[in-house]
Amino acid sequence: MRKQERLLFTKEKSDLISLRNKRIIFKDQITTLDGSFLETWPEIKNKLNNKFKGRTPQWFKKLEADVQPKMFYWQQTHH
């Protein structure tokens, strides 16, 4: 089993509280099995067998906005 990577990309108190309340600690909880792609919020909710209520969390929107341009660049350079 590979080493789990801790997920800490924010220091904002509200983001940390949201992550803790959802028990999201490790990168593999929100990425595909190989760790290459960020899953969608509905996929994460399903994967964690949890019924999170309300809107998509701000920490996820920030992470998604940061990751998507990098993935697009990676895909363009590796074809």
Q: What is the pLDDT of residue 8?
A: 55
Give the residue among 76, 70, 2, 67 at the shortest CA–CA distance from 41: 67
Q: Inform me whether the pLDDT recorded for 9 exceeds 90.
A: no
Q: What is the pLDDT of residue 57?
A: 93
* Confidence (pTM): 0.69
Q: What is the pLDDT of residues 37-78, one digit of tens each?
A: 889 999 999 888 877 888 999 999 988 888 765 554 444 455
Q: What is the pLDDT of residue 72?
A: 46
Question: Domain segments of the chain: what residues?
Answer: 13-77
Contact 59, 10 (CB under 8 A): yes
Q: What is the pLDDT of residue 41?
A: 92
pLDDT, mean of residues 14-34: 88
